[in-house]
Amino acid sequence: MSQNPRYINKNSTQTLREGLAEYYALNPHVTPPETQPPEFAKILLAHDVGHVIYGCDTGMYDELKILPLFWWTSECTFQTYLKMKDSPAVDVMYDNMIKEKGVLWLYGEVFKVLPLLIPELILIWFKTRKRHKRLPFLEFEPLLDRSLLEIRYEFELLQFIN
């Protein structure tokens, strides 16, 4: 990303709705959820909302970081993820990425950032082991007009945003 998005600032007071609009404006390469089948669009939009709430960009490091953050801090647990992953629409997303960039690029990027990410993931895992309050995943609409700082504070997410 060439600009410094406000939603990435851990203390951002913009609303989730404003952060999501900024996310789409700064990331034109991101697939617009409204162009997808409804079942997948809902998952895709929830994923994009996660980028904004967790203050993650769209680089490989943050893409790999956001999944465990979902699993360990939101209603999208690993079991939920496995059920969603079986959706044919999700398969299309991965197939399109591989067609666009190539399988070697994908795995090369993963292996390049994984050594840097693993220590952070271990710390996140330890901090989330006994977590009870989980961020909504698919039912995030009530959060849209709340500030990112409020949401991050309520769901104890500030500690995971750099």
Identity of the residue numbered 46 = A
pLDDT for the residue 154? 97
Neighbour tally for 147: CB within 10 Å: 17
Global pTM reads 0.88
Please name which of 149, 154, 69, 60 lies closest in space to residue 108, comparing C-alpha atoms.
60
- Classify the phi-psi angles of 12: left when phi > 0, otherwise alpha if psi is within -120 to 50, otherwise beta: beta
Please name which of 43, 42, 48 lies closest in space to residue 22, comparing C-alpha atoms.
48
Please write the tens of the pLDDT for every residue from 83-104.
Answer: 877 766 566 666 767 777 788 8
Band the pLDDT of 2: cuts 50, 70, 90.
Answer: very low
pLDDT for the residue 3? 61
Please write the tens of the pLDDT for every residue from 15-42.
Answer: 999 999 999 999 998 888 998 888 888 9
Q: What is the sign, positive or negative, of the torsion defined by CA atoms of 12, 13, 19, 25?
A: negative
Residue with the bigger pLDDT between 94 and 74: it is 74
